[in-house]
Structure 1
Amino acid sequence: MDGMRIARDFVDIGALAEIPRLGARTVTTGMGDIAIFRTADDRVFALRDQCPHKQGPLSQGIVHGASVTCPLHNWVISLESGQAQGLDKGCAPHFAVKVEDGRVLLALGVPA
């Protein structure tokens, strides 16, 4: 499988300006809700909108740095990898996302 790449189809899901800094918006897909996060320095990340602990809505959590804290039980989840931080174990699937010309583009299909 060397050299084999997974093709990703990016879908325009809206303007970056529609996502508040240190906030999130959700996108409903056939795979469930995906939370799109925006950091203070305008980086964007996409995670399945479920904490790996008790499936809390990560989109309603507090964004800080490149992490989000789940609103249910305060688990801290890396926005870059979806991995729970500290002693907590688990992972929220993450998806490729990028910004082009002020528009947020989400790769649908297989998680990154």
Structure 2
Amino acid sequence: MKMQMTKVRVKVADYDSLPERAGQAVTVGGENIVLFRKSNGDVKAVENRSPHRKGGTLADALVSGKFIYCPVYDLKISLDDGKVQAPDTGEVKTYHVEVIENEVYITI
């Protein structure tokens, strides 16, 4: 019998405190996550781990549109689905984000 994991919505930040086009790292339930507030106001969340085999974090990634660029390995990663863009490969986990009355929530 397969057990289903219950998803939980957790407040992780105040919207106004998020810097635009820069990452803000948070830890939720033991998971290291980085939030990005895009220039259009949308907030995205991905795991704070470079998909490169040597590792690293993404908190200092450069944001451009719907992509971030790994600060160490220059991998181009989609903020929508976490996939590394060709010719490179890999992916990071993404999280559902909601902004409700200036509060940012993710679902883990």
Shift of 1:19: 0.9
Does 1:21 find its partner at 2:20? Answer: yes
State the alpha-carbon separation in 1 of the partners of residues 96 and 80 from structure 2: 10
Write out per-residue CA displacement over residues 41-93 of structure 1, whole angstroms, 9 at most, x where no aligned residue.
11111111011113221111101101110010100110111000121110101
| Structure 1: gaps spanning 5 or more residues | none
Shift of 1:26: 1.0
| Structure 2: gaps spanning 5 or more residues | none
Aligned positions of 1:1-112 closer than 5 A: 7-53=6-52, 54-108=54-108
**Root-mean-square deviation (CA), in Å?**
1.6
TM-score normalised per structure 1: 0.85
TM-score normalised per structure 2: 0.88
Shift of 1:6: 7.1
State the alpha-carbon separation in 2 of the partners of residues 93 and 23 from structure 1: 18
Number of residue pairs matched by the alignment: 104
Shift of 1:97: 1.0
